[in-house]
Amino acid sequence: MKKFVLVCFMLILGHWCVAQDELMDILNSTGSDSDNEYVTATFKSTRLLNGHSVETRTGHILEFVISHRFGRINSGVKNLYGLDQSFVRFALEYGITDQLNVGFGRSSFDKSLDGFIKYKILRQSKKSPATITAFTSMAIDTREFTAEDPRSEFKYRLDYTYQLMLARKFNSNLSIQLMPTMVHRNLAPGSEDNNVPLIGVGGRLKFTPRMGINLEYYHQLRDRPEGNFNSTSFSWEIETGGHVFQLIFSNATQMIEKGFLTETEDDFWNGDIHFGFNISRAFNLKPKG
């Protein structure tokens, strides 16, 4: 039952918060676009935690994202509670239009390169109950392999992720997101299937104008191999002007989709938790005039 604790927790919060603030109050405060009024700021960042949120950067906005994950907190003082071990990812994400974003990143874990395309299909409004965003990414393992290793062949270094994100902002304090997901690995370990279907759920609960907590859980819809666990994370999120800072606690150390979705090897409920953070800075590249 532990794997459903986060889902139940968010549903309880949703029931409590909706009674506090009606959706029309949000719509009336977000301005208008033609004859429709759109909900804004469903989430404060384009990242929910490890994964993406439905948010896209507006056109001509460039975002620089730095993500860190450290070792297990329960590794003890000899490893400085995980701080002696570090993984990092740097990324640039750009809004081609208000709806269409692209991004490129480099991770120290497996020396991976990744790129993504993200498109906001629908925005929550008077006429639409939710925001819907489509996402796809590709990751490349750039490590060196011996000629005998299948990964020495380029096609076996590639992994793909396909995701549809559906989110609803219930009121000014609570947003919830669902993420049906498919990961395709050109080379799967052992006898595992190349395709891994998942369903994710996440949410944000704001408790001050600039602070909130985020939750994210991905459940693999397969018989997980021994030593493999579902990605479970929560964070404290702080907005400071052009920065969004997330202090994260997760059982995943990888920061690209194929990694934290299918290769997490630590048990969150057994205390195998990693501290980390995401920090982003946005730059306006829109031509003047």
Q: Check whether 19 has a pLDDT greater than 80.
A: no
Structure tokens given for 270: 């057994």
Mean pLDDT over the full length of the chain: 86
**pLDDT for the residue 7:** 47
Of the pLDDT bands very low, low, confident and very high (cuts 50, 70, 90), residue 133 is: very high
Query: 2-283 adopts what CATH topology?
Result: Porin (2.40.160)
Q: Check whether 20 has a pLDDT greater than 80.
A: no
Distance of alpha carbon 18 from alpha carbon 40, whole angstroms: 17
CB 58 within 8 A of CB 46: no
- The full DSSP string for the chain is -GGGHHHHHHHHHHHHHHTTS-HHHHHHTS--BTTB-B---SSSSSBSSSSB-S--PPTTEEEEEEEEEEEEGGG-GGGGGGTTSEEEEEEEEEESSSSEEEEEEEESGGGEEEEEEEEEEE--BSS-SSEEEEEEEEEEE-----TTSGGGSGGGGEEEEEEEEEEEE-SSSEEEEEEEEEEEESS-STT--SEEEEEEEEEEEEEETTEEEEEEEEEESS-PPTT----EEEEEEEEETTEEEEEEEES----SHHHHHH---S-GGGT--EEEEEEEEEEE-PPP-
Most confident of 78-87, 148-157, 256-265: 256-265
What is the C-alpha to C-alpha distance for residues 41 and 275, in angstroms, rounded to an integer?
26
The top-scoring range by mean pLDDT among 40-49, 58-67, 130-139, 243-252 is 130-139
Give the span between the Cα atoms of 151 and 158, in whole angstroms.
Answer: 9
33 has a pLDDT exceeding 60: no
Does residue 91 carry a pLDDT above 50?
Answer: yes
pLDDT at 100 over 90: yes
Supply the pLDDT for residue 34. Answer: 52
62, 103 in Cβ contact below 8 A? no
CB atoms within 10 A of CB 76: 10
Alpha-carbon gap, residue 231 to 260, rounded angstroms: 6
The yes-or-no verdict on residue 21 having pLDDT over 60 is: no
pLDDT classification of 242: cutoffs 50, 70, 90:
low
Which pLDDT belongs to residue 186?
A: 94
CA distance 216 to 19: 23
What is the mean pLDDT of the segment spanning 112-132?
94
Q: According to the model, what pLDDT value does residue 189 have?
A: 86
- Amino acid type, 202: G
